[in-house]
Every structure is written in C-alpha cells, then in structure tokens.
A and B are shown apart, each in its own frame.
Chain A
Amino acid sequence: MGILGWTWLIVGLSFALYIGIAIWAKAKSTGDFYVAEKSIHPVLNGMATGADWMSAASFISMAGLISFLGRSGSMYLMGWTGGYVLLAVLLAPYLRKYGKFTVPQFVGERYYSNSARIIALLCAIFVSFTYVAGQMRGVGIVFSRFLETSINMGVVAGMALVFFYAVLGGMKGITYTQVAQYCVLIVAYMIPAIFISIMLTGNPIPQLGYGSAVSTGGSGILGVPAGTHLLDVLDGVQKDLGFPAYTKGAKNWLDVFMITFALMVGTAGLPHIIIRFFTVPKIRDARSSAGWALLFIAILYTTAPAIAVFAKTNFIQTINNKPYSQAPQWFKDWEKTKLVAFNDKNGDGIMQYAPGEAKAATSKNEVFVDRDIMVLANPQIARLPNWVVALVAAGGLAAALSTAAGLLLVISAAISHDLMKGVLTPKMTEKQELMWARVAAGFAVLIAGYFGINPPGFVAQVVAFAFGLAASSFFPIIITGIFWRRATKEGAMAGMVTGIVFTAAYIIYFKFMNPAMNTAEHWWWGISPEGIGTIGMLLNFAVLVGVSLVTKEPPKEVQDMVRSLRYPKEAEHPAVVPMAKVGGH
C-alpha cells in the first residue's frame, strides 16, 4: 500500500477511536463537563496533560527549530518543561484544594470581586483563542501535506471532530481522548527517532545516541569516518559552512534567560494546563500528576534535540555539494510541498548550502529548507516503511487536536460558568448551565475554525503572545492568592492590568506595528518580545504588592480560605494563632 493509502487508513482509525471514546465518556453533569467529576487517576491525568500541552508546534516544529538554533534552542526545551516544577510546588495542590471548577472562579473568590473574575475570564478567553487558532491551522496543514486535501478542508475536518467530542463529552470526553492521543503521538515521534539513532550510531536510545560516535553503518550514510562523535561532526561541518558551532550558544544569554523564564511561568499560568489538575481525586494526586505529566512530556522533549542533531547532520551531509541530479528521493518528494527547494544560482547543478536566504541573490546559499522538514521527512530519510510515515501524520493530528480541545473547554467554561452562572444569571439551573457550556463550546469551535482558515498574522508570533500574557497576568495573582493573605482585590486588578498592558504593548509594537525595529539594538535591555513576559510578570508582582499594602486588608473569610488552602485536611480546631504568626507570606 502507498503512503497515501496508509495515511487515510491510520488517520481514519485514530479518528474512529476518538469518536468511540467520546460516546463512551459522555458528560452527564456540570461537574463532569468542567472537571470530569474529579475522578481521573493521576497517571492518566499526566498523560492527558502531556497531550493537552504538546501542540502541533511541539510535535512538528520544535526539533527543526532547535536544529537551526543549536544550544540557544534549549530555551524552548527548558522553558516548556520547567513550568511543571512551578505547577507541582506552587500551584496545583493548592488550587486542587480550592476544589471548584475554573481559574477565573478562583480569582473571583480569592479576590472577593466579580470585576477581578471578569478580568480573569477575559484573559483566559484571549489567551486560549490566540493559542487555539494555531492548532486548527496545524490540523489543516497536516491534512494538506499528508492527505493531499486543501488546508481549509483539513481545518473543517478537525473542527467537526473536536466539535463532536468536546461538545458531547466536555472534560471527561476530552481527558480520555487525550490519553489515546498521547499514546498515538508518542509512538509516532519515537519510532523514526529510534530507527535513525540505530542507523547512524548503533545506539537504540536516541536521547543517548546523539552524543555517541558514528557507527560503521552511519559512516556510510554520512561520509565521515566511523568512531567520530556525532556532535563533533556537526560542529565541524557547521563551522566549515560558515555557521556557528552547533553546541555553542548563538544568542545573547540575557535574552535566552528571559525567554526561558517567560515560557516557564507562562506554562504555569496557562488556564488549560491549570484546570487539568482540578480533575484528580486528591490533593497529593495533583502533585504526583504534575510529575507524571512532565515525565511523559520529557520523553518527547529529550528526543527532540536528538532528532535535531540527526536530521541536521544528515541533511547537510547528504545535500551539500552533491549534484542535484543525484539528490535523495525524500528531497525530490518534499520539493513538491515547497518545504525544500534548490535555487541553482551559479548554474553548476551542484547544491551548495551556506548561511543566508536561498531565495535572495546576495547570499551563496542555494538550498531552502523549512524547519518542519526535520520531523516530517524523518521516516523517509531513515527509509522506514510507508505506514510509519502515516503514523507521523496521525501523531501530528493527535497533538494539534488534543491541545485544541483543552483550550476550547477553557473558553466554554469561562463563558458558561464564570460569565453566565457566576455574574449574569446566577439563578440558572445545572441543566441550563450544561446547555450553555455546550453551546459555548460549539461557538468556540466555529470561531477557532474561522481563525484556522483565516490565520491572524504569523501563528508563531501569536503563540509567543499567549505565553507572555499568561506569564504577566495569571501567574503573579495566583501565586500571591495562595501564598500571601494580605493581597487585596485592588492590588490584584491593578497588577493584572499593568502586567498585561505592558506586555501586550511591547509585543504589539515590535511584532505588528513596527516590525522593522524588531532587532536587538532597539529592544529594551536587549530583551526580545518573546521574553518580555518576564518583565511584565515582575511589574505585575510589584504593583500588586504596592497597591495591596496601601489598601484595606481582605475580609476575614477570604483570609481563612487562603489559610485552608495550605492543608490537605480541615483543621480540627479553628486556628487560634494570631495571624501575623501564621505567616503572612
């Protein structure tokens, strides 16, 4: 069977599986719809969180991105994993103890203010929509590349599927489909990596293989002597071609520091990740679930740098200085998708790879390569059977769909639970609220699909936005909400607004209003728009503390609630220790 046939078969089977799970896990109550009745086993929740977290960008683009950034690319690897440590020790157990349904609801009750709840729900909707647009686009792109449909048709197919299981199953349906999607995506990611690692180094563990020496078989493929370390080979060829050595950092360390930090605290502030920890039965499950989630994520995240090194070395060694007429088959196949291209500037029929734009006449580079090719062409580079190529397509779809569903649930809950039930019509019955939740989820799918078909600007820029905003809005007010009883509603609202306005203004200025100025010499302290969320977060903290200290302290019930978040079980005796002694921080 050909690649196309296998792809239809495997993608079709995976979709049938997701639909089957959705029917089996239909939500019956609002508790089911928002938090799966808090009945999810921590290991399963860890898997679901992994799929929720790893998006089309993690699956398709990250390894390629790293392969072009070298060690500086680690900011994505560390930035998109380190937030789980923050979640495990600073957020998840306490929010699970709080025990209700949504992040805006926590903000509203902790800061005893419906206005704070409304600001929080607007932030949640805005962050989630910016993020979900990219996911629907990702579904469309996978469809168009692997199934030879149009991008729009792919978006519509993805919408129909997500509509079905998110509207029907709510959090319960989403959780169990995410568990299945995690299994699909991790198998799809690991199989090509393991085979390439064996081919090039003889080591079956890709995480270790890329630090190993080239094997005899690998020496035949790469044309370098067996026994040389792969990383030394790559460092050497990069330097020969005029690139910086792969294992050295190419970017300014302060900017790498700031971006990593913004991604970590952004992770810990993303509502669709936080609510996953509302679904486990116990407080200690919230802690262990964060550990399982990170373990499942790290399997992919420690493999990505290996794929980056394998693919980059193989790419340069099999393409550079080779006659175009003898280009490998995968190069010819992917030329059709325009992800790779050869522009014979000097007319010698030989492909010369060098720094600079392949399309511009000013550089010597003749080979255009899209970073996504590093993952997408992997199975063919490793000469794996056609069904493995099909599996990669199913894996990319699983990654995009699982993230989209988690985000849509946040939007739906923000509207039905926080806006309708919480603020506008508190007298609504549970049945009506469930109805609203489903209608809101349905509308959210339609809007996400619209953005998938008409993407707003560059998807990657939009995702940087989501992290910066989550870092500068939610993270500080949730942390102080848990750890500092003295934080007041005035402080929280002022902090949230300052953080978001500052971060959004900086990003909008450099990314959308004046992209020509978007270079290191114009940035404040050399911090790029991707990293500015860290400064926004610090501003939010500073304003929050300052304003809280000069405003009236929170009511006693609120302070008691904050104290109760700290203990897994209620106190036998009401606390008699004076407040100052129990620790104001």
Chain B
Amino acid sequence: MKAEQQLAYWKQNLTYIVVILSIWFAVSYLAGIVFADQLDAAGKFGGFPIGFWFANQGSEVVFVVLIFVYVWLMNRLDKKFGVFET
C-alpha cells in the first residue's frame, strides 16, 4: 500500500467511525435519555412506549448491528486496498 493510498484508507476509516458513533450517540443519549419523554408521548412500538424501548432494549440492538456493519465495511475496505488478512 503506497503512502497516498494509506491516507485514503485512513480517511475512509475515520469517516466510517464518525458515522457509526453518531448513530451510537443518537439511539442511546438522544432517543433513550434526552428526548425519551417526547418519544414516549409520540406513540408505541410493539407495546412499548418508544423512548422507553430505546432506553431498555433498542439502543442495545442497534449497538450490535452497528458493530457488524462496521466489520463489513472495514473488510470491504481492506479488500479494496489489498490489506485484507488471510
């Protein structure tokens, strides 16, 4: 991997990290804590008030999905730049 490619690889990784952590913050701190009351008032999701659900279970489910999406994105990036470990 050449130097310019290294730079491109790292920048792409940083972009992924920023996007993943923004979603991480939104589902837990925003949906589950700061705006939980407003979401609760907005309605129900499968029997659960929405804010309550994000705080109790939803954020954890999204966390798991986020990590596996990041794994998939990084494996694709590694292959694209020829640094996929075999």
List residues of chain A with CB under 8 Å of any chain B CB: 71, 74-75, 77-78, 81-82, 84-86, 88-90, 93, 207-208, 211-213, 229-231, 247-249, 253, 256-257, 260-261, 282-284, 287-288, 290-291, 294-295, 298, 301-302, 305, 563, 566-569, 571-573, 575-577, 581-583
> Which of A84, A229, A260, A261 is within 8 Å of B63, CB to CB?
A84
Known: A287-B71, A569-B83. A298 touches B3 (CB 8 A): no
Chain B 66-81 interface 0/1 with A at a Cβ cutoff of 8 Å (1 = within)? 1110110011001000
Cβ A74 vs Cβ B55 within 8 A: yes
Cβ B56 vs Cβ A573 within 8 A: no
Known: A77-B60, A207-B57, A287-B67. A212 touches B7 (CB 8 A): no
Cβ A85 vs Cβ B46 within 8 A: no
- Give the dominant DSSP class at A's interface: helix
Q: How far is the CB of B12 from chain A (nearest CB, A)?
A: 11
Q: What residues of B have a CB within 8 angstroms of the CB of A75 in the complex?
A: 33
Looking at A90, A261, A569, the one whose CB has the most chain B CB atoms below 10 A away is A569
Cβ A577 vs Cβ B85 within 8 A: no
> Does B42 have its Cβ within 8 Å of any Cβ on chain A?
no
Cβ A568 vs Cβ B83 within 8 A: yes
Cβ B64 vs Cβ A577 within 8 A: no
Which residue on chain B has the smallest CB distance to residue A291? Answer: B67
Q: Within the assembled complex, what's the spacing in Å between the Cα atoms of A247 and B29?
A: 17
Q: How far is the CB of A248 from chain B (nearest CB, A)?
A: 8
Other A-B contacts than A88-B67, A247-B49, 10 sampled, CB-CB below 8 A, are A77-B60, A89-B17, A208-B46, A229-B47, A291-B64, A571-B1, A577-B3, A582-B6, A583-B11, A583-B14
Cβ B40 vs Cβ A301 within 8 A: no
Cβ B33 vs Cβ A253 within 8 A: yes
Cβ B7 vs Cβ A577 within 8 A: yes
Q: Within the assembled complex, what's the spacing in Å between the Cα atoms of A93 and B6?
A: 16
Known: A260-B33, A291-B64. A231 touches B48 (CB 8 A): yes
Q: What residues of A have a CB within 8 angstroms of the CB of B40 in the complex?
A: 247-248
Q: What residues of A have a CB within 8 angstroms of the CB of B46 in the complex?
A: 208, 211
Cβ B55 vs Cβ A71 within 8 A: yes
